[in-house]
Amino acid sequence: MSHSAFAYVDGVLHAEGVSAVTLAERFGTPLYVYSRAALTEAYQAYAHACAGHRASVHVAVKANSNLAVLNVFARLGAGFDIVSGGELARVLAAGGQAKDIVFSGVGKSAAEMRQALEVGVKCFNVESIPELDRLNAVARELGKKAPTSLRVNPDVDPKTHPYISTGLKANKFGVAFDEARATYRAAAALEHLEVVGIDCHIGSQITEIAPYLDALDKVLDLVEQIEADGSRIHHIDVGGGLGITYADETPPDTGLFVRTLLERIEARGHGHREVFFEPGRSITGNAGILLTQIEFLKPGAEKNFAIVDAAMNDLARPAMYQAYHTIEAVAPRQDTPHVYDIVGPVCESGDWLGRDRSLAVEPGDLLAIRSAGAYGFVMSSNYNTRPRAAEVMVDGSDVHVVRARETVSELFAGESILPA
């Protein structure tokens, strides 16, 4: 869908109205490039499908937490799903409203809970009884009641990568399905908690609707049992995790996905409850690319290597998940292509960005790594004392630097050597 924001014009890849060659010349590489139009289009697909229903969109900040990206969504009226106190501070700095923030995550500290209660977040998605007890204690200290929802683990297999599947019995997330009813009773007995909802998130990069419906049916059964026990469930949080096209995946249309879940909820007599969607990758993933320049072409006996200036510290997904990203020449040549592994300068064999890619390129050429708007910059590091990339946002023919490139001196500004 959002690939349209990154298209070839006269043989050169453009981001909206700006040539990727111009971007690399002006801002250097590696460079993260986001499209405001693509972010807007992907968000509106959710928002428009929710219109007319008691449903709202809470953008998953972990996928892309750049302030400008969050601000685009805040201006569109988005809520946010956070997993840390740092993400809470980012959302507020970007113009988001505390009352529209859902606080998820399996290991919230007392300080993070305090921070969220003081600003007045919409809800805490709690994942264990010890966390319920801690939240109750922090709320008591502050003389407040914490709006609480339990993340229930429906044990539905989303058939995705094991590292990003989160709703199975073997995962660290959520309350086990068969313990959920008792955990809700425990929550209801705590004086400084107010049970307001139920939450479920089965994984990431899911490209079918069926696992969501399986999970939803189990959650709706549970809601009926919880209400029979005396707690009111005001909202159902269906989580995020809808996949995107990296290569040849065919995820469902966003509008169809949202409508299908809302129709199931309404058909089962739960239409009076509010529904939260928490998209992350599906609204930012294909709204960003990573530009990188080829340093060397290194032929080998078994493999040819294109050594580029981006590395696993800039884009961790291939090394971490064996993830596939489409990689294209920014200005393709008419020469005979060769097959290369695209690798970075970091001293690890795991430092690769793409394997066995057919490209007609020369040293100095630019490559665009597609679908880099989610879990790209946010997972980047300074391994090998490499400054993190700059980030820019393209808005039509305008370009805004939304994060300056780090400098090496900044990397060790907080360090000190021992006294003489």
> Could you tell me whether strands 146-153 and 123-126 are parallel, antiparallel, or unpaired per DSSP bridges?
parallel
CA-closest candidate to residue 203, choices 164, 257, 251: 164
Structural domain includes residue 347: yes
User: Can you read off the two tokens belonging to residue 199?
Assistant: 């939450």
Q: How confident is the model at residue 161 (pLDDT cuts 50, 70, 90)?
A: low
Structural domain includes residue 416: no
Together in a domain, 234 and 213: yes
C-alpha neighbours within 13 Å on the C-beta side of residue 122: 21
Together in a domain, 108 and 240: yes
User: Can you read off the two tokens belonging to residue 104?
Assistant: 């998820």
CA-closest candidate to residue 150, choices 172, 124, 170: 124
Indicate the SS3 state at residue 220. helix
User: Can you read off the two tokens belonging to residue 160?
Assistant: 């995705």
CA-closest candidate to residue 252, choices 202, 206, 203, 204: 206
Longest Cα–Cα distance in the chain? 74
User: Can you read off the two tokens belonging to residue 58?
Assistant: 């809470």
Together in a domain, 122 and 187: yes
CATH number for the domain that contains residue 306: 2.40.37.10
Q: Is 410 in contact with 387 (CB distance < 8 Å)?
A: yes
Binding site per annotation, positions for substrate? 281, 317, 321, 348, 375
- Which residues, 6+ apart, have CB-to-CB distance to 232 below 8 Å? 195, 196
What is the model's pLDDT at position 76? 98
Together in a domain, 177 and 77: yes
What is the model's pLDDT at position 164? 46
> Could you tell me whether strands 327-329 and 366-369 are parallel, antiparallel, or unpaired per DSSP bridges?
antiparallel
- Number of separate domains in the chain: 2
Together in a domain, 188 and 318: no
How confident is the prediction for the chain on average, in pLDDT?
Answer: 95
How far apart (Å, rounded) are the C-alpha atoms in residues 359 and 366? 11
User: Can you read off the two tokens belonging to residue 281?
Assistant: 């990758």
Residues in the chain: 420
Binding site per annotation, positions? 241, 278-281, 317, 321, 348, 375
C-alpha neighbours within 13 Å on the C-beta side of residue 328: 19
How far apart (Å, rounded) are the C-alpha atoms in residues 214 and 216? 6
CATH number for the domain that contains residue 130: 3.20.20.10
Q: What is the pLDDT of residues 2-47, one digit of tens each?
A: 458 999 999 999 999 999 999 999 999 999 999 999 999 999 999 9
Percent of the chain with pLDDT over 90: 91
Using the 3D structure, point to which of 283, 299, 329 is the last residue of a domain.
283
Beta strands in 16-153 (DSSP E): 18-19, 31-35, 55-60, 79-82, 101-103, 123-126, 146-153
User: Which residues face 206 on adjacent strands?
Assistant: 242
User: Tell me, what DSSP letter sits at residue 252?
Assistant: P
Domain that holds residue 152: 36-283
Q: Which of 50, 123, 200, 347 is catalytic?
A: 347
Q: Is 81 in contact with 240 (CB distance < 8 Å)?
A: yes
End-to-end alpha carbon distance in the chain = 60
Q: How confident is the model at residue 217 (pLDDT cuts 50, 70, 90)?
A: very high
Q: In the block, which residue shows the tokens 């394997």? A: 355
Together in a domain, 180 and 253: yes
Indicate the SS3 state at residue 33. strand
Structural domain includes residue 417: no
Q: Is 200 assigned a catalytic role?
A: no
Q: What is the pLDDT of residues 260-279, one digit of tens each?
A: 999 999 999 999 999 999 99
Binding site per annotation, positions for pyridoxal 5'-phosphate? 241, 278-281, 375
Name the amino acid, one letter, at 384.
N
Together in a domain, 7 and 58: no
Together in a domain, 19 and 53: no
User: Can you read off the two tokens belonging to residue 413?
Assistant: 């500004």
Q: How confident is the model at residue 1 (pLDDT cuts 50, 70, 90)?
A: very low
Q: Which strand (E) or helix (H) includes residue 267?
A: helix 254-267
Structural domain includes residue 418: no
Structural domain includes residue 256: yes
Structural domain includes residue 313: yes
What is the model's pLDDT at position 2? 42
Structural domain includes residue 419: no
Together in a domain, 236 and 337: no
**Model confidence at 160: pLDDT above 70:** no
Together in a domain, 236 and 181: yes
Name the amino acid, one letter, at 139.
A
Using the 3D structure, point to which of 256, 283, 310 is the last residue of a domain.
283
Q: What is the pLDDT of residues 369-407, one digit of tens each?
A: 999 999 999 999 999 999 999 999 999 999 999 999 999
Whole-model pTM above 0.85? yes
C-alpha neighbours within 13 Å on the C-beta side of residue 85: 13
User: Can you read off the two tokens belonging to residue 102?
Assistant: 């859902």
Using the 3D structure, point to which of 257, 283, 309 is the last residue of a domain.
283
What is the model's pLDDT at position 159? 65
CA-closest candidate to residue 81, choices 110, 46, 52: 46
Together in a domain, 161 and 131: yes
Structural domain includes residue 366: yes
> If you write DSSP's letter for every residue of 361-413 in order, what string do you get?
--TT-EEEE-S-SSSSGGG---TTT-PPPEEEEEETTEEEEEEPPP-HHHHTT
How far apart (Å, rounded) are the C-alpha atoms in residues 44 and 148? 28
Given phi > 0 = left and psi -120 to 50 = alpha, else beta, which region is 263? alpha
Together in a domain, 146 and 258: yes
